[in-house]
């Protein structure tokens, strides 16, 4: 889809892009070889130069260039061209501020391999591993995951970034990651009803009481997020493609769901949900 995109070029908005498409100018190469373009001479020269620059940036796998010049809810357009260098990313923390709280776990999935990182064990390995990828996919990661990682680990994630919160919202989906999952028919089975507060509860159980089952449950929950991000990214991409003339040529097959290597402890989950539904504060229950 990126080869068919013009709206990252200055002075080209959605209306002009659609005019080009409707005139059969459906990709960069067609534009470059077309003589009778429905544009002024000055604009044609400028756009041709911008297309040549875009082709070079794409060859360089410079996704940041495109995310910088596209609206946030249009970042999905990068996905097909960068799919082989994409990582789905999600973090769990003890709170909302990287100044006063910490990352407990990070999960990543690149369509082939699931990895997870645990504070006090291998969290620093994430710093090297993330450099293998050109594109990050998150849900609300622009506001939370990425700035938290950068502040807490003292690194810069200079990557192209698709935040599905904005893409899905442009399609009419909202309610957070869990809400969007439900609208797409995804189920978390034994982790149904678990939320970010439980992630904090599980970490405290692990850290205070050396409860490895609590850690495994936390990691299973974290990994579930990134596995579901893959499904949501492909689904959102296909829905956005339907808004263009290119559904038949640019749609993507939804990949098979991978097997999650860790399992949530049903007993721990039930105990948490029981305490949570009683209205007793988690802080109190852990005291």
User: For 159, phi and psi rounded to 5 degrees?
Assistant: -130, 155
User: Distances from the Cα of 225 to the Cαs of 91, 191, 232, 276, in angstroms?
Assistant: 9, 11, 10, 21
C-alpha to C-alpha distance for 138 and 189, rounded to whole angstroms: 22
Average pLDDT, the chain: 92
pLDDT at 279: 54
228 plus 255 within the same structural domain: yes
- When computed from its CA atoms, the radius of gyration of the chain, rounded to whole angstroms, is 22
The percentage of the chain sitting over the pLDDT mark of 70, rounded to a whole number, equals 95
39 plus 89 within the same structural domain: no
Q: CATH number, domain at 224?
A: 3.30.420.10
**Does the structure show a pLDDT above 50 at 77?**
yes
On whether residue 65 sits in a domain, the answer given is no
149 plus 282 within the same structural domain: yes
Q: Which domain holds residue 244?
A: 79-286
Tell me the pLDDT tens digit for each residue of 227-273.
999 999 999 999 999 999 999 999 999 999 999 999 999 998 888 87
Tell me the pLDDT tens digit for each residue of 23-65.
999 999 999 999 888 888 999 999 999 999 999 999 999 999 9
Q: Under a CB-based contact definition with an 8 Å cutoff, are residues 191 and 218 in contact?
A: no
- The count of structural domains within the chain is 2
228-254 as b/e: b if 16+ CB within 10 A: bbbbbbbbbbbbbbeebeeeeebbeee
On whether residue 192 sits in a domain, the answer given is yes
Tell me the pLDDT tens digit for each residue of 180-213.
999 999 988 878 777 788 899 999 999 999 999 9
Tell me the pLDDT tens digit for each residue of 154-187.
999 999 999 999 999 999 999 999 999 999 999 8
55 plus 159 within the same structural domain: no
276 plus 233 within the same structural domain: yes
On whether residue 74 sits in a domain, the answer given is no
**Does the structure show a pLDDT above 50 at 286?**
no
189 plus 127 within the same structural domain: yes
């Amino acid at each position: 889809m990126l080869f068919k995109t013009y709206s990252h070029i200055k002075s080209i908005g959605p209306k002009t892009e659609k005019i080009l498409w409707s005139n059969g100018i459906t990709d960069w190469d067609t534009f470059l070889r077309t003589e009778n373009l429905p544009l002024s001479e000055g604009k044609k020269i400028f756009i041709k130069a911008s297309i040549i620059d875009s082709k070079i940036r794409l060859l360089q796998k410079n996704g940041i260039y495109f995310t910088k010049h596209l609206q946030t809810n249009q970042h999905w357009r990068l996905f097909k061209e960068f799919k082989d260098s994409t990582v789905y990313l999600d973090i769990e923390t003890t709170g909302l501020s990287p100044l006063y709280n910490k990352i407990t776990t990070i999960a990543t999935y690149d369509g082939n391999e699931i990895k997870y990182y645990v504070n006090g064990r291998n969290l620093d390995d994430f710093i090297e591993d993330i450099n293998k990828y050109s594109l990050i996919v998150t849900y609300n990661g622009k506001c939370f995951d990425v700035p938290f990682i950068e502040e807490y680990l003292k690194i810069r994630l200079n990557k192209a970034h698709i935040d599905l919160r904005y893409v899905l919202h442009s399609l009419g989906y909202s309610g957070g990651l869990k809400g969007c999952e439900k609208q797409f028919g995804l189920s978390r089975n034994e982790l149904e009803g678990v939320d970010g507060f439980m992630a904090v509860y599980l970490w405290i159980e692990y850290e205070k009481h050396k409860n490895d089952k609590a850690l495994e449950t936390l990691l299973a929950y974290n990994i579930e997020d990134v596995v579901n991000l893959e499904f949501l990214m492909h689904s959102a991409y296909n829905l956005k493609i339907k808004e263009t003339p290119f559904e038949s040529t640019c749609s993507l097959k939804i990949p098979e769901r991978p097997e999650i290597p860790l399992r949530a402890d049903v007993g721990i989950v039930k105990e948490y949900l029981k305490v949570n539904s009683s209205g007793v504060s988690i802080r109190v229950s852990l005291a």
